[in-house]
Structure 1
Amino acid sequence: MCQYEDIHYGCLHHKLRLIKHCHFARNDPHHACFGAWTVGRTWSLPCEHC
């Protein structure tokens, strides 16, 4: 499973950022993940310029 972090901004936007690739995505030339993924951690940050 690929693992992501979920970043929540003060303006209610959010973004998923990749933390680590799964075994299949690491070995794929385009790092494509066709399986399940999980959210490893969640952050709350003040709003940057939207």
Structure 2
Amino acid sequence: MNLTDYVVFFWLLPVVLCIICPLLILCGYAVVKLPSLLFGGRKPRIDTEPLFAR
């Protein structure tokens, strides 16, 4: 690898991390939240109850 390859790599690394890190956080949040949403959470939120009642 020559110098320009290193420059491009170190410019892309933060960009890739900035894209991947929020996606990983969102995926982890979804994995934690989806089972409780699909199978009915123990504590339903008040603001969602009227939507299901209609």
Normalised by the length of structure 1, the TM-score is: 0.20
Q: Which structure has the larger Rg over C-alpha atoms?
A: 2
Considering fraction of residues, name the structure with more helix: 2
By relative contact order (CA 8 Å, sep 6+), the higher-ranking structure is: 1
Considering fraction of residues, name the structure with more strand: 1
